[in-house]
Amino acid sequence: MSTPALSGVHHVKIPVTDIERSRHWYESTLGLRVQRDFRDDDGVVRGLAGTLSSPEGEPFLSIALRQNPQVAQGIHGFDPLSLYVPNQGELEAWKDHLERLGHGVPDATPNGNVLLLHDPDGIEIRIFGTRP
């Protein structure tokens, strides 16, 4: 029996403790462009969806944030999202960008080709200077 075809990734969903704080962080840090808010039955926004774009402005990954404090605390320090840039120069540009935002110099792996940063809930996001 063969595996049916897949055509790509629809979205990545990340749990957060505070939707507005995380929205600001993902927008300012990673350039998330929010397209939709999700309101619960009580009318309060507890989720959102948006995209990350390439330097040419083309969306390449949809990300959803969902307020769920227990799950966010449960994956503190875990790395559900790893991104890549095409070369070491772009990785250095990311390092500079993060420093300008006041994130300080994020941790880098010993070989120097990965930046490790953490969202407001301590969820790790990696930016690789090499293709997968």
* DSSP symbols for 104-124: -S-EE-TTS-EEEEE-TT--E
pTM as predicted: 0.90
Q: What is the mean pLDDT of the chain?
A: 90
Task: Give the SS3 label for residue 21.
Answer: helix
Distances (CA, A) of 69 to 22, 40, 124: 12, 15, 16
Distance in angstroms (rounded) separating the CA atoms of residues 115 and 22: 19
Average pLDDT of the segment spanning 37-53: 94
The pLDDT value given to residue 56: 85
Residue 8 pLDDT level (bands cut at 50, 70, 90): confident
Question: Quick check: 132 pLDDT over 90?
Answer: no
What digits encode the pLDDT tens for the residues 82-120? Answer: 999 988 888 889 989 998 998 866 666 666 788 989 999
Please give the Cα distance from 111 to 108 (Å, whole number): 8
